[in-house]
Structures are given as C-alpha cells and as structure tokens.
C-alpha cells in the first residue's frame, strides 16, 4: 500500500541524474512527493561552499519535475520539526539517503554510485580554466 504523502530534502546544486533516481524512488513509495530545497545558508553550513545556483533557481527546477507535488525552502540540513511531527502519521513518509540518515527519516535509499554535486564541482574546477586554448 502506498503512503499518501512523502517528503525529502535536497541541495540539488546542481541537480543531476542521481537526484532524479532518488526522487523516483521516493515517488514510488508515496502518492504525493514534497521536496525541501536547502536554503543557500543551509548549503554553506553543510557543504562549506556557496551554491552555484540560488535557492530560488534550484527550487524552481525541482518544482518543475513531474514527480514533485510541491516544494519548500528548508533552512536547515536537519528535517524541520513540523516535518518530523508529521512522520508519526501512518500516511506519511520522510525519505533520506543512507549517507545522511537524518533523524526523523522513515525510509532511506542508497545514493547513486559515482555521481554527486561534489564530484561535478571538482570535475568542473579541473576542466575549466581562464586560459583560452586553441
């Protein structure tokens, strides 16, 4: 039996296919999926660097995905209290990755191997230079 409502949280900076796979797994386990998008301050606190895109840009991209019913801007890495309170309801799931395993999660999924925003950032830093190569 599917749960009626699901919630997960992402930095999604940048959004990549690992995020899509994760969101699809979440959606398979609920009827409606809501996504918390980490605020710029939460990303800086958690990852130690400024996001490439603003929270509003990231939120708009995630909101446009067909598997997402709605989005929230989440101001902390941990799940907000009002979200964990809802997890006590039988028709509600909070999704997380096994990597994070945040308090309040009711179902965790492994992350996709060999892809992460950190890997993408490092690749881009090593690939792009200010020198014009001909």
Read off the pLDDT of residues 35-68 as tens digits, 9 standing for 90 and up. Answer: 999 999 999 998 888 999 999 999 999 999 999 9
Count of the separate structural domains present in the chain: 1
In a domain, 48, yes or no: yes
Report yes or no on 77 lying in a domain: yes
| Bridge partner list, 97 | 109
Distance CA 54, CA 44 (A): 12
Inside any domain, residue 13: yes
At 83-120, the pLDDT tens digits run 888 877 778 899 989 888 888 998 999 887 666 666 55
* pTM score over 0.85: no
- For residue 134, being part of any structural domain is answered with no
Could you check whether the bond before residue 66 is cis, i.e. omega within 30 degrees of 0? no
Main-chain dihedrals φ then ψ at residue 9, nearest 5 degrees: -135, 145
Domain that includes residue 84, residue range? 3-127
Q: Would 43 be classed as within a structural domain?
A: yes
133 occurs within a structural domain: no
Assess if residue 24 is contained within a domain: yes
Report the CATH number at residue 120: 3.40.50.620
């Amino acid at each position: 039996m599917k749960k009626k409502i699901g919630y997960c949280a992402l930095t999604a900076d940048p959004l990549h296919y690992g995020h899509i796979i994760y969101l699809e797994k979440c959606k398979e386990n609920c009827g409606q999926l809501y996504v918390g998008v980490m605020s710029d301050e939460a990303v800086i606190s958690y990852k130690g660097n400024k996001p490439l895109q603003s929270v509003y840009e990231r939120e708009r991209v995630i909101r446009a995905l067909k598997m997402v019913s709605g989005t929230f801007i989440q101001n902390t890495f941990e799940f907000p209290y009002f979200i964990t309170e809802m997890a006590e309801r039988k028709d509600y799931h909070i999704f997380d990755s096994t990597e994070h395993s945040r308090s309040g999660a009711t179902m965790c999924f492994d992350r996709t191997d060999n892809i992460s925003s950190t890997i993408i950032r490092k690749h881009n830093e090593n690939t792009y230079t200010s020198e014009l190569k001909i």
